[in-house]
Chain A
């Protein structure tokens, strides 16, 4: 049979079923090809945005101090670069390097006083790899050459204007480096004067590109470090910049050591997940070695955890989507197989062997599925940016492979019996399942339960976990099987009641569902999976949302927290803060030494005493009490008031009782019930947070800390209390920061899209499975129509037939989606997805209203589709001819 004949046969015979199969395979191939491309691209793109947004901190620097051997200078640089992982080098490129030398003490020949000699300081002479391209001269000249006539140890340098001004240098001035031990200035041996390093300022410069990573290094800052704010200005670090060709003679003359440095900016466009993971891992290694790294780790440290959590949930989506695509392909293959059954039967009666029929059907399926796969993959390449991956190739090919295998197998199986018997076989199987079938179904249910238990024990951060990913679908399928077996018995209980009624449709629908449930099994399972997947997505989304709010409450423990050194305003003014509904105050008692009554040892810490009842009122609108407040509000073993510790102290453990004496005569005993890394309102180090009531006598009239509920603005709070705006922290800002996390948002977007697509596919599977039963349904209707059933009654009957099954499936889907979401929430790492990396496991929460809406939407689509098909079909044929 020629390809053309096959093509004609494939497309022209049983056209609807053939087109459905081709469409399903094509869509499956598109999703298989596009999914991994889009997800990788989306996450990487977000990562790149994050890197680009982090500006100067997105760079890597490495440094090594060594005795210089000028002749080996280039190899020193190369060794430094090679000491990092190849992945890092590949990602970062050549970067920039520089060499620096300097002295901890120095003096200027123009008698400028730049140091009081009490603290270490360092004046750097830095020699970058390409001075001419790095700077622009704004005054004077670039360094020319070594002053051979005078002293080889004097080199020309340039500096930025702020550095020159801080050093009180003018062009032409010379700075000599004095060798001095920390104890004091050492007298310079006149014989060594020729080897005294010194520099001469020849010009003032500005950077050609201030964004060049060379300048972002704090030790090459454009402006010098002038010491602590408020103290007498003094230079602790300042950089003078020289030319590379002066370095070697100068180092020869001074025999000094040099630091070789290599630092580069990360190119966001080149950053993808695998490289960033390698970079972060390498930077962690470097940070523990002699080398030094920039703030990149801080910038990206959340990304791997979030990416891992993302891969977990997205993995679920991808695997469920693939499973649903396969299911849909199987259903459409069965749809086609039923249409081609008669043909296969005819071929067999004319002597064709099963192998010959199978071969023809394989070619048939190939003709339909291969072009569809190619079109789907091509569309994915054209529409979705990204690269090919092994997973993408696999997912692209799976629908076609399944179709090619399923069409012949299903058709030959369908053709084994007589056509009439084939129609009825499903009913027999449903009512009297074979022992083998029952055992198989029981095994599937057990496996699903086992999978759910295993998923519940999974730890977060494992990335794509097939068990976790498959559990929602497997559990939904198993639940569908259980319902399928149990539903006839439940419906049978309704039949005596319905038999007494005058309602045709309810009687027929329930009777059929109870006595011949086989027609319902596929829709039940497919619908259950659809709604289960949608509900599961809703549960995760709601849990993440809840976790975000919980994080914000834990971070602020109020709508606003004010932390200042004594808020010196009257009580009336405090209560008049615009928008404030409730206020709790706290007082800080610094430098206290409570005594641990359990071991008799004292420890130095601050005490923060808070009005706990008022604090509880402040947090009344929170979904749950913030962790700190919950701990303070709980009972204690000893009966003493509860207290919590911020930070850790060697001599105090949870459960210890501390005796706190404030202002010499106010003493209280508290029990430490918990320790926290941070407590909202506490700005100092180790702090004991306790209720105010027992020590209220010792409190000053002005609070140090205020917890406020209500819609307050930082500016109005600050102006009312006469404090700086920076002293006010708003929960809304924290929440905004959490919701503004681009990586996390991308993860959630990806997850939701994958979930929605999965739900749509499952709903399509439900429609498809109902369509498979359409022949039987149409036959039943045709018989009823000969008895005078009207079109409206047909539609109502069909709806009554579909709705009970669908409602049961929807309710079960909501239960499965919610239950599975609650059980495997920890494995999905909701904490990382909520942006709270250090808060421990987050509680999953249900979102039943959204689940009900999702279920109603899926249900509505399915019912409308089926009823619409019935009505339009009857209108089209005008009258019944079956």
Chain B
């Protein structure tokens, strides 16, 4: 089931997800908006409980939103039937777990694990074998082809899991804290693998993490706070006057379709903003001042 524009691989519009946990209602996502273009390498960051894993589960087809709209590669995630959802997970969305060995069958070798989704997709044996070895080469773990997960390091396992996730050439790869259990050097290897996947296979990659340092590895970082996207950091590479490459990162607040903006927490704290703020429209920007009485008086 596909619809919508092909301009974006991921469209989330006012996405809401409410859980019932032991009688308690938990609002994990409360009107989240997100747009991701094809071929982007995106990180979703946020504190624990901010809703980023919920978002990833929804986008990967493992959970269903309560309200709003979510489409991935034109697939409406609210309207999908069970069989369509399985096909979506098979062909459109790849998934990498936080636990390095989680995405792998412990009794299969690396090559067999990579061939498994291809087998699910009824691909021929020759194609399976060729594709598995291609991915093993791409991710730099060809030497692990005949090893079982227990015989591989954490980084190797996670790269193998990435290979498994992209075996069926999905449009989007979702990774849930893929480096959460790895040391920094190994984490760099894994991110390199994700970037290679993104660049060489053209797969849109969405990485969820609570580690702000991840931003160094991706082009765009979306921060989620209290179930909503709060800000985005865009990274680009520039040449300095001396001809050196320089990475420039700029953080933006996200403006939703209703015109709402989440101010960064440190801005709020530093200016003591609470309850109400005063806005002033300037020719090229919007000015914002604390709105409590004392300050109001001073401004007046």
Which A positions have Cβ atoms within 8 angstroms of B?
Answer: 420, 424, 427, 499-500, 502, 504, 507-508, 511-512, 514-516, 780, 783-791, 793, 878-881
Contact = CB atoms under 8 A, between A and B. Distances in A.
Q: Give me the 7 closest cross-chain CB pairs, A-B, nearest first.
A: A788-B90, A515-B107, A787-B117, A790-B86, A516-B107, A788-B89, A786-B95
Of the candidates A420, A790, A793, A879, the one having the most CB atoms from chain B within 10 angstroms of its own CB is A879
A500 B112 CA distance: 12
Contacts of B62: 785-786, 879-881
Nearest to A791: B82
B76 interface: no
Contact of A516 (B89, B91, B95, B106): B106
Interface residues of B, number: 38
Nearest to B60: A786
B61 to A, nearest CB: 7
Interface stretch (B119-127, B197-205, B210-218, B248-256): B119-127
Interface string B91-112: 1000101010011111110001
A788 B103 contact: no
Contact of A787 (B89, B99, B108, B122): B89
Contacts of B86: 785, 788-791
Nearest to A420: B99
B164 interface: yes
Contacts of B228: none
Given A787-B90, A788-B168, 7 more contacts: A424-B150, A499-B125, A511-B112, A784-B116, A791-B86, A879-B61, A881-B57
Given A427-B106, A500-B125, A881-B62, A788 B95 contact: no
B64 interface: yes
A482 B256 CA distance: 66
A322 B102 CA distance: 40
A870 B95 CA distance: 22
A219 to B, nearest CB: 86
A502 B64 contact: no
Contact of A786 (B64, B89, B105, B119): B89
Nearest to B91: A788
B14 to A, nearest CB: 21
13 contacts: A511-B112, A512-B105, A514-B107, A783-B104, A785-B62, A786-B89, A788-B87, A788-B121, A788-B168, A789-B86, A790-B82, A791-B82, A879-B64
Contact of A512 (B88, B107, B119, B164): B107
Nearest to B104: A783
B79 to A, nearest CB: 14
Contact of A784 (B99, B112, B120): B120
A504 B120 contact: yes
B103 A504 contact: no
Interface in B44-91: 57, 60-64, 82-83, 85-91
A427 B122 CA distance: 29
A511 B108 contact: yes
Nearest to A517: B107
A878 B64 contact: yes
A780 B106 CA distance: 9
A789 B105 CA distance: 14
A783 B107 CA distance: 13
B105 A785 contact: no
Contacts of A515: 107-108, 148
Nearest to A785: B89
A280 B86 CA distance: 75
Contacts of A787: 89-90, 116-117, 120, 164, 168
A770 B172 CA distance: 36
A297 to B, nearest CB: 68
B106 A424 contact: yes
A756 B89 CA distance: 46
Nearest to B116: A787
B105 A780 contact: yes
Given A787-B164, A793-B120, A881 B63 contact: yes
Contacts of B57: 881
Contacts of A880: 62
A516 B105 CA distance: 10
Contacts of B88: 788
Contacts of B82: 790-791, 878
A781 to B, nearest CB: 11
Nearest to A882: B62
Contacts of B87: 788
Contacts of A785: 62, 86, 89
Contacts of A789: 86, 90, 120
A285 to B, nearest CB: 71
Contacts of B168: 787-788
Contacts of B97: 783
Nearest to A428: B150
A785 B103 CA distance: 11
Of the candidates B62, B86, B121, the one having the most CB atoms from chain A within 10 angstroms of its own CB is B86
Contacts of B106: 424, 427, 516
A15 B77 CA distance: 34
Nearest to B83: A790
A864 B129 CA distance: 35
A788 B116 CA distance: 11
A93 B64 CA distance: 81
A502 B120 CA distance: 9
A783 B119 contact: no
Contacts of B124: 502
Nearest to B57: A881
A118 B62 CA distance: 110
A430 to B, nearest CB: 11
B90 A502 contact: no
Contact of A783 (B83, B91, B103): B103
Contacts of A879: 61-64, 85
A667 B88 CA distance: 98
A500 B83 CA distance: 27
Nearest to B88: A788
B89 A502 contact: no
Of the candidates A787, A878, A881, the one having the most CB atoms from chain B within 10 angstroms of its own CB is A787
Contacts of B112: 511
Nearest to A789: B120
A411 to B, nearest CB: 23
Nearest to A779: B102
A502 B103 contact: no
B243 to A, nearest CB: 45
Contacts of A783: 97, 102-105
Contacts of B116: 504, 508, 784, 787
A781 B9 CA distance: 28
A699 B150 CA distance: 91
Contacts of A790: 82-83, 86
A788 B108 contact: no
A519 to B, nearest CB: 10
Nearest to A874: B82
Given A788-B86, A879-B85, A881-B62, A502 B105 contact: no
B18 to A, nearest CB: 14
Of the candidates B102, B121, B148, the one having the most CB atoms from chain A within 10 angstroms of its own CB is B102
A508 B112 CA distance: 10
Contact of B119 (A424, A427, A504, A514): A504
A880 B102 CA distance: 14
Contact of A502 (B60, B85, B122): B122
Nearest to A502: B122
A468 B277 CA distance: 89
A515 B107 CA distance: 6
Given A785-B86, A788-B168, A502 B119 contact: yes
Nearest to B122: A502
Interface in B214-266: none
Contacts of B150: 424
A502 B125 contact: yes
B164 to A, nearest CB: 7
Nearest to A880: B62
A195 B125 CA distance: 121
A424 B82 CA distance: 31
